[in-house]
Structure 1
């Protein structure tokens, strides 16, 4: 795009912009360096993990009302390409981030203007409620306005299709093509009182609450003492009610983080994986002598867990939570058609658990748009559990996406069962290690900022492929898998795996941020030795593996 073209585009956006701050931002860009104007008005935010995500601001490279309206129009055009006996139906939800409610109502008005029926959820709710609702009312699509656990300045737009799962290729590209052909001044909005816009009065939430509570055996007045934080997100009311219906009534909510707040004032980042985010909750958990600390990210589709471990507390990583949940689900269910799914960057423990319990097992690319597919696409398999290491878990197939509320409830059940037997959650984890070997996992990330960041990431990935390492630490690499090539059994993706006898490392760029991620796992067999000692041995192998690939990425 030339400078003159960028200036015309900026003027066009300025004419349609209703937000005073965004108007001032565009005016400043028009008065500033031409290179910044061109960068801001060339193209638009791309569909990444099932939709849009980016910083709030002006222009097509930011999240704002104009871009949301254009995206809604593109989704409507794609929906109307399909054969429908009656107008398509879309259910729309939103979290409590800045402008999420406005983006949701704008979406409904744009869709209604194009003769698409809408059901608008009544208040800020967890993403799993929206994903559940798509299936429950047999909607043609679902749209959730959320940026999940992204930084406070972001918002996003997650899109589901009629199968209840996040959109995937080629749908995302098709919608993006429609979006390419839409300008902000051509989008029309119906009135919010249009007969095509149905305001849900809580019926879908009520159905979700009943479904979620049924994921565990009813436990009348469980004595388990739980500390919970929604990290200023929308999880509190839904989770507490689900737990109460299932018999878990001693849920203590961290007061400082209990209510939705788009500024997330008590944390640097509203991501439970970031060190320090759970510090306040942990202080309170210790004060009340809790049996369990659980946290959701702001849209409540992820679950973090911290548990007592002797005199200290242990933060479980996503693979440890996933392994414990899988063992609980598989041990308490039956059927040769059961299916458990995880990703190529997650622990290999699930594969061993599935074999132990006679369950089908599949690995997919990262993200729940991939994890749910084997269960959706298979006629003969019953999806019972899926997870990814980034704190995403799906228990059963009532929701075709990760669900931090039902996962939290099932984890509370397994914790309560262990407590009744005089055992801890860490004891349960050690049981798995004794049976299948000590599995420890970790990751490193490198951020690449600026306009040159993407090119630098590409160069690094090319270098890794052209000149792969021969060893991981002191161990010879015996297998290299380039997932960008055919033969892996999965759709091509930009990732490379290096495998040695007891170690595996995978390097891949993030799909949503300018990052290269390095995932590693070390496994040590338990042969009569103390599990805690072997964990230290495995952690040393893990550290060596991460450092080896980290040096390669840093060059």
Structure 2
């Protein structure tokens, strides 16, 4: 007799009642008979909203993405929308990516909204996530949904919710909606569609989005410079193939080679281990094509086209993948340069980033006299900044995880416009006899060398969640006194909203929303953050080190400037060894 926790068994038995379809019930019975550990993982909790919405493995159960969990979420959101906007026509927009079941799930979600008397604009085929964010405002919707699991493995899917400003849910809406969802039973879901309220959308929104992308992402690059830039692009089997090539073409970038083997949308992502442009292996085919074509730049986007990876030729003429922090630094510096040249900087603008990203963005913003605002991880917080600071004009913002946003016509990271911006930078620098890589070196020479390193450790299931919790507990209760040979000067614990200054012994409030993040700062300028992922079974460690050795800093020994790469790598290695993570 296989033992099953009575609490879990009670949850299981709810799914074996006639309301749930035979396929779902069969899947559950198979787990009961043959895989009690999987059964426990499937039912020990409800799927939760994290930094990027709700993501999970597809299958039967409370802790899975399926017809019933999506239906209940949509019913709760419908109830909330009707309460928030009484006596108004409520419209929502829905998009979906290339994943298995995404199209079917999108229609299911549309059915539930329509069954509740809500007007639905449903994309007829897959589209990039940033286009959904754009569509919410463009179509005057109160909310938007995109069915996507971003760069997660093929067995995952997800459900991201956007509010009327085009940004993802933030407090208090997220908590209020979750409370509404939790108050419901699965049987409360209205699945019977009102087809009259579902309208398919495609080319009109595509054209408007492409036009806005070009208006925000181009900066007077000459036709000759555009013609001389050789671009390799890969969609990694995802949604960007529907928009990026046409936006580049409309912006007069004609010299574009597309990785054909990865151009077909496919939820199995057959040519890559992981469709994540953060991982160099994902861009191998693109890099190989770049060598064959003698390309200047490689760009690859994740399946829902909100993140991008960029590779450029280094000073040895070899393709080198930039990390997310470097891409963000280049884009921010370039935008501020362009705004300054146009005479548009007047102290009423801001750029944005996150608490786990490079400190270099703030230094650049200060140099240009532009306000720098920092928030929690996730672009929903950058979207919230745009809403919270209406007196300031948003120029651009990014985070270390390969996401960037140009202007506020979209309110989420946007790999369509960021791809265009990357090409603008590369084309202009090449025309000047420089390169994108050399531009990065020039920025380091001016502001000091920085290097960042991300360590991501996967811990699956209930046991994995407990391991991650134990790791964070240890880091909090037994804080490091020194890291990598340098004294810890302060520690920020975002979970309890407290900053501890170890030099003065004083504690102050951070005034950030509570989040399970811990950040150490050392006297030599290093920054180490630990954070469990909000959307994946992972714990992430973010390491940033610096020499502080800008070319203009005469107090720094010349040898330190010349050997900065080696010095910075040694710092990173020492920190990794002390954290015992690899």
Provide TM-score, normalisation by structure 1: 0.94
Specify the SS of the correspondent of 1:332: helix
Paired residue for 2:410, among 395, 399, 417? 399
Matches within 5 A, 1:388-537: 388-486=399-497, 487-500=509-522, 501-524=524-547, 525-527=549-551, 529=558, 533-537=563-567
Q: Is the 8 A contact 2:280 2:321 kept in 1?
A: no
1:401 positional shift = 0.5
Separation (CA, whole Å) in 1 of partners of 2:9 and 2:321: 54
Instruction: Show the counterpart of 1:75.
Output: 77
Instruction: Show the counterpart of 1:220.
Output: 223
1:489 positional shift = 2.6
Judge which range, 171-180 or 438-447, deviates more: 171-180
Instruction: Show the counterpart of 2:179.
Output: 177
Gaps spanning 5+ residues in structure 1: where?
Answer: none
Paired residue for 1:320, among 315, 319, 326? 326
Specify the SS of the correspondent of 1:300: coil
Specify the SS of the correspondent of 1:81: helix
1:376 positional shift = 1.4
1:197 positional shift = 1.4
Specify the SS of the correspondent of 1:521: strand
CA RMSD of aligned residues (A): 1.9
- Structure 1 pair 3–139 and aligned structure 2 pair: CA distance change class (3 A): closer
Q: Does 1:244 align with 2:263?
A: no
Q: Does 1:298 align with 2:303?
A: yes
Instruction: Show the counterpart of 1:271.
Output: 276
Instruction: Show the counterpart of 1:206.
Output: 207
1:6 positional shift = 3.2
Paired residue for 1:55, among 57, 60, 68? 57
Separation (CA, whole Å) in 1 of partners of 2:562 and 2:231: 26
Q: Is the 8 A contact 2:240 2:301 kept in 1?
A: yes
- Structure 1 pair 322–542 and aligned structure 2 pair: CA distance change class (3 A): same
1:532 positional shift = 5.9
Paired residue for 1:281, among 278, 283, 286? 286
Q: How many residues align?
A: 548
Judge which range, 460-469 or 283-292, deviates more: 460-469
1:485 positional shift = 2.5
Q: Is the 8 A contact 1:503 1:542 kept in 2?
A: no
Q: Is the 8 A contact 1:74 1:182 kept in 2?
A: yes
Judge which range, 520-529 or 35-44, deviates more: 35-44
Judge which range, 162-171 or 410-419, deviates more: 162-171
Specify the SS of the correspondent of 1:479: strand
Gaps spanning 5+ residues in structure 2: where?
Answer: 1-5, 498-508
- Structure 1 pair 103–267 and aligned structure 2 pair: CA distance change class (3 A): same
Q: Is the 8 A contact 2:519 2:530 kept in 1?
A: yes
Q: Is the 8 A contact 1:87 1:115 kept in 2?
A: no
1:338 positional shift = 1.2
- Structure 1 pair 445–39 and aligned structure 2 pair: CA distance change class (3 A): closer
- Structure 1 pair 514–37 and aligned structure 2 pair: CA distance change class (3 A): closer
1:539 positional shift = 2.1
Separation (CA, whole Å) in 2 of partners of 1:151 and 1:4: 28
Provide TM-score, normalisation by structure 2: 0.90
Specify the SS of the correspondent of 1:252: strand
Separation (CA, whole Å) in 1 of partners of 2:155 and 2:9: 30
1:32 positional shift = 4.2
Specify the SS of the correspondent of 1:93: strand
Specify the SS of the correspondent of 2:512: coil
Paired residue for 1:540, among 567, 570, 573? 570
Q: Does 1:31 align with 2:33?
A: yes
Paired residue for 2:21, among 17, 32, 36? 17
Residues 70-116 of structure 1: per-residue CA shift (max 9 Å, x gap): 21111101111113442311011111111111111111111111111
Separation (CA, whole Å) in 1 of partners of 2:162 and 2:96: 13
